[in-house]
Structure 1
Amino acid sequence: MSDLAQRLTSTQTSLRQWLFDKALPIWWEVGGDREKGGFYEKINLDGTPCDVDRRTRVAARQVYSYALAKTMGYEGETDRPIDQGLAWLSGPARNPENGYLYAVLKPDGEVVKGEFDFYDHAFAMLAYASAFAVRKDPTLEAAGTAIRDAIVRDYSHPIRGFEESNPRTLPLKTNPHMHMFEACLAWLEAGGDDEWKRIAAMIADLCLDKFLHPETGSLREYFDGDWNPIEGEMGRIIEPGHQFEWGWLLLRWTKMTGDAKYAKAAHRLIAIAQDYGTDPVRNATVFELWDDFSVKDNKSRLWAQTERMKAYVKLADAATTPAECEAAIAGAVSGAEGLQLYFNADIEGLYSDRMRPDGTFETEPAPASTLYHIICAIDELATLSL
C-alpha cells in the first residue's frame, strides 16, 4: 500500500470513529436541550452546555447532521435529534403570522432577533431536505417548499438573486446565496421539484457572472444593489473557506448539468484558496485575504478546513486522469490531517474553533454549528479510494 493510500485509510478510519463514538453522542446527549427543546449553542470545554441565546441555524444544522449520520450507518440516536430540531423550527422559531423564522431566540423561546435572515432560512430549507431524504414525509417537502416560495415571492432581487431584507438593506451577500444553492442541490438529490433546479441554475450563473472577479476568478463577498462589488475594503474581502465551498458546490452542479464552465470556475476558486489562502506551515486554511491575495486575517477557523476537504473530494471525483485523481486525493487527505489538529479538546467529541497564527488555539466553548461542517466533510472523504 502506498503512503498516500495508508494516510487516506488512516484518516477515514480515525475520523469516522471520532464522529460515531464521540462527537455524535455528545452533541445529542449534552448538546440537545431536553427541557426547553432545541439545541444548546455551544458546549463548554468541561463538557457542560453553554446556555446562551440560540441561533435558528443551529437547530437546522443539527437536523442535517443527524439525518446525514443516519445515511452513513450511524447506529446511535438519530430520530430524536431530528425530531427535536424540526420541532424547534416549527415551534419557537416560527413566526405564526407569516411563517418565516426568527433568527435568534433566548433559551426560553423569547425572540431576540425577529427580522428576516436569508442565511437562516437557507439552512432551514437544507434541514427539511435532509430530513425528507431519510423519511420521505410529504409534510417535510411542503415545509421546505413553503419557505422557498415565500422567499421567491417576498425577497427576489429585481434582476437576479435575493435581497437581504424588504425594504432593501445593503450590502447584498454571496454567503446566503451559497447556502441557498446548497439547499437547492440537496432538494434535487432528495427528489424535489423543478423549481429547485431553476433557482440553483440562477444562483450558479449569478456566481459566474457577478460574484467572481472577471480578471482573477476569485469570489467577492459583498455587493451593492446592482451586484457590483461594494466600495471600500468590504468589496475587497476574499474568504478562502468560501472559495473552497463554492468550488465544491459548482463541481456538484457540473455533474448535474454536464456544463464544463462551472467546473472551470470551481478549479480556479480551489486553486486560489489553496495557493494563497492555505498556510503550509500550519496546514491550515486562513480566514480572510484581500483581493490582491495578500493575507487580511491569518487566523484559521475549523470550518474552512472541512471545506478544503470537500473541494478536493469533488476534484478527485471529476478527475480525468489517474494523476489528477491522486493529486486531488492528496489534497483531501492533507485537509483531513489539518482538520484533526482541531480535535484537541480534553473531552473527545469537542473541538477548537479558532487557530491562532502561531498554531495554538483559542480557549473557548465548542460551537454546535460546526458539527454540520465536520460530518459533511467526513462523509465526503469516505467516498475516496486508491
Structure 2
Amino acid sequence: MSSAPTPFTPDETWLAGERTRLWTFARGAVHPNGGFAWLDDRGEPELDQPVHTWLSCRMTHVAALEVLQGNDDARAALDHGVHALREVLRDPEHGGWFGSVDPTTHEPVVATKECYAHAFVLLAASSAVAAGHPGAQGLLDDAREVYATRFWNDADGLAMESWDRAWRTAEDYRGVNANMHSVEALLAVHEVTGDPEPRAQAARIVERVVHGFASGNDWRLPEHFTADWLPLPDFNRDTPADQFRPFGVTIGHLLEWSRLTLHLRTALGAAAPSWLLDDAMSLFDTAVRDGWHADGEDGFVYTTDFQGVPVVRNRLHWVLTEGIGAAWALAREVDEPSYAEWYAVWWAEAERHFIDRVDGSWRHELDPSNQPAATVWVGKPDVYHAYQAALLPSLEPAASFAGGLLHR
C-alpha cells in the first residue's frame, strides 16, 4: 500500500469551486436531439448512444441545484432536461418513462418501466420545482401518480422493481437499489411540496431495509430478493461486477443508506426514532471495516461477499463520494471526532486518485492499484454523486439537496 495522503478538509471556497468545475464538465452532456448524452473520459458527448432516463434525470437535478445557487446560465440545461422528461423519454401510449430511447428516433431502446429510473424522475422533477421551472409541477404530478399506482406496494412498505412497457407484467425480482433511490426521491418530494405522505413512505422503506434487512444480516445488506422479499444471496454470483445489480454487498450502498437514514431523521424531527442514528452509524462502521483498504491497497473495494471478503476490488468514484457524504452527515450528528477525520481522509483520497485536473470531472473507476479502469463504468457520465459530495457540507441538515437550498 502506498503512503497515505495528508487528510484535507476543504473550505467553502474550495467546495464551491469544485461544484463549478463539475458543472462546467456536465453541461457538455446536453444532447442536441433531446435529453443528456453519455460523456467519455474527456467530456465529449457520445451522441450515438441511447439517451438514458436515469442519466438525464441526474443531469436535470444537478442543473436545478445550480439554478438554486444563483447560476442563471444553468436554466437552459434545466429547461432542456424538463422538456426531455415530458416529451422525449416519456411513453406517450402507456405512460411512465422508458429506460432509454434512440437518440435520433426517440423510439424505446429499453422499453421496460424501471422503478430506478422513475425514482430519478421524481428527484429531477422535485428539484426543478424547487428551482422554479414553469413546467416542473406538471412533471412532478405525473411522476408521483405513476410511482404511486405502479411501483409503491403499500402492503410491503417497499417499491416494486419493474414492469413491461404496457404495465401488464411485473418483474419477478425485488431490489434494494431502486428502493434506496426511492427514499432519496420521496424525501425530496416531501421537502419541496410539504406533503407528509412521501416522507412516511420513505420511513417505511428505511425501516424495512435498514432496520430489517441490514440489521438482521450483521449490517451486510442483501440487495436482491424474490417477489415475496426473500433474499437471493447468490444472485449474479457469475457476474459480480454488474453495474446495477452486483453480487454480494455493495459497500457504497451501505454508506449511501447511512446518509439517507440521517436525511430521514432530519425530516422526521422530534418524531424520529432513536434507532435511525444508531443504524446509520452501524452501516458506516461496516462499510469502513469491510470496504476500506480491505485488500491492502488504497481505497474502497466495490463489493464484498457476506463474510466481508472483497469480491470486486476495483475502486468506483461514487463509493468514495458516498463515504464523504456519510462521514460529513455523521460528524454533524455525533460527538465523535473519527467521522470528521474520515471526511478529511476521503477528500484527500479523492484529490489523489479520482479528481481529474486534466480532462475534468472525476475518474469513474480505478483498478485495485488505483490506475484507470473500465470494468464497471466506461467514460464519465455521472457528476451527480461528486457534485452532491461537494454540496452537502455547504448546507444545513435537510431531507434533500433541493430542499436544503430552497429553505436556506
* Pick aligned residue for 1:335 from 346, 371, 374: 346
The question of 1:71 aligning with 2:73 is answered no
Q: How far apart are 1:282 and its partner, in Å?
A: 4.7
Corresponding residue for 2:26?
Answer: 27
Q: How far apart are 1:383 and its partner, in Å?
A: 4.7
Question: What percent identity do the matched residue pairs reach?
Answer: 21
Corresponding residue for 2:383?
Answer: 371
Question: Following superposition of structure 1 onto structure 2, how do residues 168-183 of structure 1 map, counting pairs within 5 Å?
Answer: 168-183=170-185
Q: How far apart are 1:345 and its partner, in Å?
A: 5.7
The question of 1:304 aligning with 2:302 is answered no
* Deviation readout 1:27-62 (Å, 9 max, x if unpaired): 21x2212x31221111342x4322211211111101
Corresponding residue for 1:9?
Answer: 10
Corresponding residue for 2:102?
Answer: 106
* Deviation readout 1:235-254 (Å, 9 max, x if unpaired): 97111100000000001111
> CA 1:231/1:374 → structure 2, altered by over 3 Å: closer, same or farther?
closer
Q: How far apart are 1:278 and its partner, in Å?
A: 1.4
* Pick aligned residue for 1:117 from 91, 114, 136: 114
> CA 1:147/1:9 → structure 2, altered by over 3 Å: closer, same or farther?
closer
> CA 1:332/1:67 → structure 2, altered by over 3 Å: closer, same or farther?
same
Corresponding residue for 2:91?
Answer: 95
The question of 1:269 aligning with 2:280 is answered no
* Residue segments in structure 2 that go unaligned for 5+ positions in a row: 1-5, 164-168, 238-246, 397-408
Corresponding residue for 1:286?
Answer: 301
Contact 1:283 1:335 in 2 (8 A): no
Q: How far apart are 1:195 and its partner, in Å?
A: 2.1
Contact 2:53 2:117 in 1 (8 A): yes
Corresponding residue for 2:146?
Answer: 150
Contact 2:98 2:112 in 1 (8 A): yes
- SS at 2:222 equivalent: coil
* Deviation readout 1:252-301 (Å, 9 max, x if unpaired): 11122222111111111010111111127654221101111111111111
* Residue segments in structure 1 that go unaligned for 5+ positions in a row: none
Contact 1:184 1:197 in 2 (8 A): yes
The question of 1:313 aligning with 2:328 is answered yes
Q: How far apart are 1:117 and its partner, in Å?
A: 0.8
Contact 2:18 2:390 in 1 (8 A): no
The question of 1:226 aligning with 2:241 is answered no
- SS at 1:16 equivalent: helix
- The two structures, once aligned, show a CA RMSD in angstroms of 2.5
The question of 1:197 aligning with 2:199 is answered yes
CA distance in 1, matches of 2:348, 2:55: 26
Q: How far apart are 1:99 and its partner, in Å?
A: 2.3
CA distance in 2, matches of 1:214, 1:87: 43
CA distance in 2, matches of 1:337, 1:76: 31
Contact 1:286 1:300 in 2 (8 A): yes
Contact 1:213 1:220 in 2 (8 A): no
Structure 1 runs (4+) deviating above 6 angstroms are none
Contact 1:332 1:381 in 2 (8 A): no
CA distance in 2, matches of 1:6, 1:335: 7
> CA 1:149/1:356 → structure 2, altered by over 3 Å: closer, same or farther?
same
How many residues align? The count is: 368
Corresponding residue for 2:372?
Answer: 361
* Deviation readout 1:71-107 (Å, 9 max, x if unpaired): 345x462101110011111111011123200111121
> CA 1:6/1:174 → structure 2, altered by over 3 Å: closer, same or farther?
closer
Contact 1:309 1:381 in 2 (8 A): no
* Pick aligned residue for 1:62 from 59, 64, 83: 59
Q: How far apart are 1:6 and its partner, in Å?
A: 8.7
CA distance in 2, matches of 1:168, 1:37: 29
CA distance in 2, matches of 1:131, 1:282: 41
Corresponding residue for 2:3?
Answer: none
- SS at 2:276 equivalent: helix
Stretch moving more, 326-335 or 231-240 = 231-240
- SS at 2:216 equivalent: coil
CA distance in 2, matches of 1:211, 1:329: 28
> CA 1:365/1:293 → structure 2, altered by over 3 Å: closer, same or farther?
closer
> CA 1:230/1:367 → structure 2, altered by over 3 Å: closer, same or farther?
same
Q: How far apart are 1:186 and its partner, in Å?
A: 1.1
CA distance in 2, matches of 1:50, 1:251: 37
TM-score, structure 1 as length reference: 0.88
> CA 1:222/1:357 → structure 2, altered by over 3 Å: closer, same or farther?
same
